[in-house]
Amino acid sequence: MQFTVTGFNAFNSSAYKNKLPRSVKERMVTSYEFELYPVDCQGGVTINGVDYTAKKGCFSLTKPGWRQRLRLPYKCYFFNIHTHDEVLIELLDRLPVYGVLWDMDEAVKVFHELLQVNDRNDPADRLLIDGCVCKLLNMLLRSGNGDGEGTSSGTLSHRRMLQQVDRYIREHYMEEINLAELADMCNLHPNYFHRLYTAAFGQTPAQRLLSCRVGAAKIMLLTESCTMTDIANRCGFSSQTYFGYKFKEAMGMTPLQYRKKELSRK
């Protein structure tokens, strides 16, 4: 998919003190403008005459040809892209004007990485910019579950609970974890929890857990001289055989082949 990043930054109206009016003049948008709200704000954005409140963890998307006006006070991260790619246009046009971005913490990290760019004309920095925006677009497309201005506290509550569960998986991957246990953490039926989690993160809980375990194993293979049995045990795999099978399934090679290949590069 092809696109051009026309702008990105962080905006905080309080930095301007009394230099800005309570609302910014309405304008016609010429690109896709994505905004992420890291905190609750009294202000928000008006898109095509409809007011949307800037709520923590939510996003807004203004599309080409639409009218937009900011209502202050207002704080957000944003990026703008221009594209003629028909596939990407179709995907973006399906997205809601306003919704919940499930993996907000990760998105904020990506924005911080973007804001470290020093020279937007440098080819290496341009690659970094495009890569970060691709990550954000992926999160946006996976979170395309807008609730309009009526985004409910229940939906936001689910987002917070799911993020807590995801953090638990990442911190306890070495332990035995099952679906029922994770669902109980959210006080949800396992089937409903499974659907919500998969929609939020693009992976099932089992896939996420396996990804964490394989990721930890990759680090250990390159930084420690442990046996395969030790690595299997410390990464939460039930046996060395199962570890080897799942690692090869994920990486296309055995753990020993991975260790040899990566260490030879170094």
For residue range 4-36, list pLDDT tens digits in order: 999 999 988 877 666 665 557 889 999 999 999
Q: Where does 207-265 sit in CATH, by number?
A: 1.10.10.60
Per-residue pLDDT, averaged over 109-134, amounts to: 89
Confidence tier at 196 by pLDDT (50, 70, 90)? confident
CA dist list (Å): 133 to 60, 125, 141, 158, 212: 16, 12, 12, 26, 24
Entry pTM: 0.59
CATH architecture of 4-146: Sandwich (2.60)
Q: How far apart are CA 81 and CA 63, in angstroms?
A: 10
Residues contacting residue 97 through CB under 8 Å, at least 6 positions apart: 47, 50, 52, 60, 61, 62, 146, 148
Neighbour-count burial of 100, counting CB atoms closer than 10 A to its CB (0-12 exposed, 13-18 middle, 19+ buried) = buried
Residues in contact with 150: Cβ distance below 8 Å, sequence separation at least 6, in sequence order? none
Q: Provide the pLDDT for residue 151.
A: 45
Amino acid, single-letter form, for residue 159: R
What average pLDDT does the segment 105-121 reach? 88
pLDDT > 90? residue 131: yes
pLDDT score for 199: 72
**If phi over 0 gives left and psi between -120 and 50 gives alpha, with beta otherwise, what is residue 236?**
left
Task: Determine the pLDDT at residue 147.
Answer: 43
State percent of the chain over pLDDT 70: 90
The predicted pLDDT at position 202 comes to 67
Q: How many CA atoms, within 13 angstroms, populate the side-chain half-sphere of residue 168?
A: 17
> Would you say residue 89 has pLDDT above 70?
yes
Boundaries of every domain in the chain: 4-146, 153-201, 207-265
What's residue 164's pLDDT? 85
Same fold, 4-146 and 207-265: no
Q: How far apart are CA 178 and CA 78, in angstroms?
A: 37
Residue 146 pLDDT: 45
